A and B are shown apart, each in its own frame.
Chain A
Amino acid sequence: MMKVFITVLRRDLLLAMRRKSDFTSTLFFFVVVVSLFPLAIGPELETLRLIAPGIVWVAALLASMLALDHIFSSDYIDGTLEQMLLTPQPLTMLVLAKIIAHWLITGLPLVLIAPVLGLQYDLSLQAIGILVLGLLLGTPALSLIGAIGAALTLGLRGGGILVSLLVLPLTIPVLIFGAGAVEAGVSGLGAEGHLYLLSAMLVMSLFLAPLATAIALRVALE
């Protein structure tokens, strides 16, 4: 079973390596959105420090929405997704492998580039630390939750808009606590509470999202 999991993971990573535009476009979007704000708002450090976590998190959320389309659609079009449903493997396992691969391709680069972007906003080292930790916990949750929406809208026309409408409300808590963590940490309240809640959301979506996604895929492919 582990072999199957690793095979699917490696397959998706290999495909991303062969077709780099998919993940570079997400990263590019994230970097551009976050970098434009300081230019537009002006060099007032006080303001920048205040809005930084919110902007980084909103950009991360939108970037992950943007990337959702790639998770199942190409496999759906060429028929390989159908074949995954026909294997003697548990579908949730395959789905989980695909989601993790998707996060490694589209989510992890955002987490890694975030400290550099944080410098543009004159964030302290502590604040950057919390921001990165929060993103590390939050972006996988975004990918997991998003996968449900992506599976539900598979094969629909204009699915891109619909998936945002479906998924965005579910991701609001991640956004609130992710951005809140940095503010709480900087103001001296301590970010632990927020980070624990983010972890809880991650664990819960790690458990439930693959199940829901698998069911949605079966419905979509019928």
Chain B
Amino acid sequence: MLNVTSLQCIRGDRSLFQDLSFELSAGELMHLVGHNGSGKTTLLRTLAALAEPAAGTVAWDGKSIDDLQEEYTGNVLYIGHKNAIKDDLTAIENLQIACVLDGSPVAEDHVWQALAKIGLKGFEDLPTRVLSQGQKRRVSLARLLLSKTRLWILDEPFVALDKAAVSLLQQVLREHIEAGGMAIITTHQDVELITDQVKCLELGWKKQGRV
């Protein structure tokens, strides 16, 4: 369970949000919405322990993530704006290395299956620099299929994906939530997050629909 208490984040000299509190328990998905510059990415990076909050605490199963450190990061999968894949390595190599680093090495067969499932059959052993933007995103998101982590933090996961990939990703998310996982995602696209347990958190000071 993730507990956030009176969190404040400052970017430059501007306070993005303050006194932000929420909790997320197993089997829940949180949809983070807010206009550009409202601090969505900053919040996600703070939750992933990449950035320090100016005030407040983030707790995982009752313990502060500052104390847990690597014990916490082992439970989290964060996919940000960058795909985090090496252009000179193949999709297979990229995913295998990522899995070893995540602490759960997988057999090569599994990686092939995951790539086939995400629609990259035939592209597995090409260097990823020859892939298109959307295909690179798919390689990056294939980690979700291989990951055993409980909390997924996804920053705009649907960017550059086609419709088929979006619906596949929705299904993967749903399965993860139904299996008792947690997820926090941001997206500007009109994507329906089809699970029963969706929380919505709105950041920012502008009303929705205003420029």
Query: Which residues in A have some Cβ–Cβ distance to B below 8 Å?
Result: 3-4, 7-8, 11, 14-15, 18-19, 78-80, 82-90, 94, 221-222
Contact = CB atoms under 8 A, between A and B. Distances in A.
By secondary structure, the B interface counts as: loop
Chain B contact residues (Cβ within 8 angstroms of A): what range?
Answer: 20 to 34
Contacts of B70: 87-90
Q: Which of B76, B82, B85 has the most CB of A within 10 A?
A: B82
Interface of B: 48-52, 70-71, 73-74, 76, 78, 80-89, 93, 97-98, 100-103, 105, 127
B84 A78 contact: yes
Contacts of B88: 15, 18-19
B97 A11 contact: yes
Contact of B80 (A7, A82, A88): A82
Contacts of B97: 7, 11
B100 A4 contact: yes
B48 A86 contact: yes
Contacts of B48: 86
6 contacts: A78-B82, A80-B84, A82-B50, A82-B82, A86-B73, A90-B70
B52 A222 contact: yes
Given A7-B97, A89-B70, A80 B85 contact: yes
A78 B83 CA distance: 7
Contacts of B80: 79, 82
Given A3-B105, A11-B97, A78-B83, A87 B50 contact: no
